[in-house]
Structure 1
């Protein structure tokens, strides 16, 4: 009997320099926007209103950057993380071009690093993934690293290659979204956006408690993960973990935290880059997620657009609690995300 099913790649199936073109291209539209806004309490005006986006130079409302991230990411799962133990982190994420309803996205990854773990049963794979639109223009690029099981523990270890990665995307490398014209906030309506706070009203080191919380339900996190066509077994199959729990896709927590950050950062309209990210502890249905942010840096992009660098933390616990005395993340911390956003100066 022959098998035509895909068991996924294991650690020994990767080689540095290997390029993987991922199936299946997907045309994204208003349906993805509506479903995204139904799944998360998302209210940022630029990705909600064509009229607001037109006043900001973009012609029509782009899809949320995280819709793009999840769609591009989801394509990679069958090839990169179907046999993953854990998704370990992100770096050098740059949103290169806005995505509008009707655009078609595909993904491609290059293996840039490998390191077998000391137990010989798994290893870490680093990939740089690029999302392209229907004109083969890159819309998103990021690095992630994943711990992947070995199919054969006796398979020889590859040469260790750990790629050098920047701690953060330099402000000079951020890309201003362009639609009909480059993004501009000179006609920005703060009343319609929801808050009066400009970038100049935030101080480096300032911390913001986003106040609200959302309890995650089993059905909604699986619906969200299916929406992105993410096929990782741990998110759906309750027999895949010894504890019988479905692990919530880390991107679901990212989107939830970003949506919660609206209360206090309503004018951080779009994500320009993801500098780093760590899924500090697993998240399961029944957890109530809250979020807080810290301002890390600011950089002037144009006369009316400022890039603000933010740490976004999702937690089951209290605001502003991050690490214990041992330097490790506290058990209630779910996500520690470092990103650049664009907002009125």
Structure 2
């Protein structure tokens, strides 16, 4: 009997199926240090215990996207080991901070299935949750993945495409207990811009660029224990190239956004996202943002700002799609998220 795991194929999923993912991960302060070595991450709340305590937290939590990568990586062996592409995200919410010493695990529920017209692949929709050692849900998100079929002749399931919200309502955003920006130190944070300084429709070119190295991408993907074959095995793709993990691009772009959005401290909602074009080692990534919405919150001194974050590999800033609605070839990432910012 075979003891190895070839991964699930499209016909192995059923609607409502619940999957408990293996290998819990205990987070240490080394996780944060390595995250900051891999990306240009400089947001003060995640860099300084003293700054975080000044904002009402017990200390500096793990970067929100680092927590996302850990939870995401847990799901890969069961959801996307045989994926052709990760297609999108929706309804992502960070429900409480993750601190060094926390142990994270993940579980997923299949919420939709739809075979593609070719009969060779299908789209699997899942809602994944990350839980800590107290069985508290620290984050939840939906994603949909194109997965290969083991047998193209296998019958297609009845198509079910879940109805997902276009955006998370501001009232549904969860603000960490105790977070308070009423005594926020703008000098230490690095910029003076606050919630009221941003206008809906405003666009910000983040100026800087980062060239992706193969070694750092491989290190990051191993760190998150992401086992997707396309990131490691150069023989999987016809072009012989290893695909850069989409989360690597997300973190690069978020780090670059510090220049102009240094005070957009905490990511608390993921409204949607698309990895518009593949990314490979040697690509230089630039980023720009657009303010999509703003909302006040009941927490002291805290506002919410909805941002579109676009990563690009050249081309002009502030361009995303052609006249036919398709992404332009230089667009790598189109991410829609909510962040917390001082009023």
Moved more, 159-168 or 316-325: 316-325
Structure 1 match to 2:24:
25
Structure 1 match to 2:241:
245
Structure 2 match to 1:93:
92
Alignment of 1:147 onto 2:146: yes
Alignment of 1:271 onto 2:254: no
1:117-136 matches, cutoff 5 A:
117-136=116-135
Q: Which structure 2 residue ranges, 5 or more long, are not aligned?
A: none
Give every structure 1 segment of 4 or more consecutive aligned residues whose post-TM-superposition deviation is greater than 3 Å.
none
Structure 2 match to 1:324:
322
Counterpart secondary structure, 1:23: coil
* Per-residue deviation, residues 214-260 of structure 1 (Å, max 9, x unmatched): 00011110110000000001001111111010000000000000000
Q: What CA distance in whole angstroms lies between the structure 2 residues aligned with 1:42 and 1:85? A: 29
Counterpart secondary structure, 2:182: coil
Alignment of 1:307 onto 2:304: yes
Deviation at 1:324, TM superposition (A): 1.1
Q: What CA distance in whole angstroms lies between the structure 2 residues aligned with 1:203 and 1:151? A: 50
Query: With structure 1 as the length reference, what TM-score do the two structures score?
Result: 0.98
Aligned length: 341
Counterpart secondary structure, 2:235: coil
Choose the corresponding residue for 2:277, options 263, 272, 281. 281
Choose the corresponding residue for 1:340, options 335, 338, 341. 338
Q: What CA distance in whole angstroms lies between the structure 1 residues aligned with 2:321 and 2:149? A: 32
Structure 1 match to 2:82:
83
Q: What CA distance in whole angstroms lies between the structure 2 residues aligned with 1:216 and 1:321? A: 22
* Per-residue deviation, residues 18-77 of structure 1 (Å, max 9, x unmatched): 000001100001011000000001000001100000000001001000011000000000
Deviation at 1:327, TM superposition (A): 1.4
Counterpart secondary structure, 2:58: coil
Deviation at 1:263, TM superposition (A): 0.2
CA-based RMSD of the aligned residues comes to 0.6
Query: With structure 2 as the length reference, what TM-score do the two structures score?
Result: 0.99
Alignment of 1:192 onto 2:188: yes
Deviation at 1:92, TM superposition (A): 0.0
Structure 1 match to 2:218:
222
Counterpart secondary structure, 1:24: coil
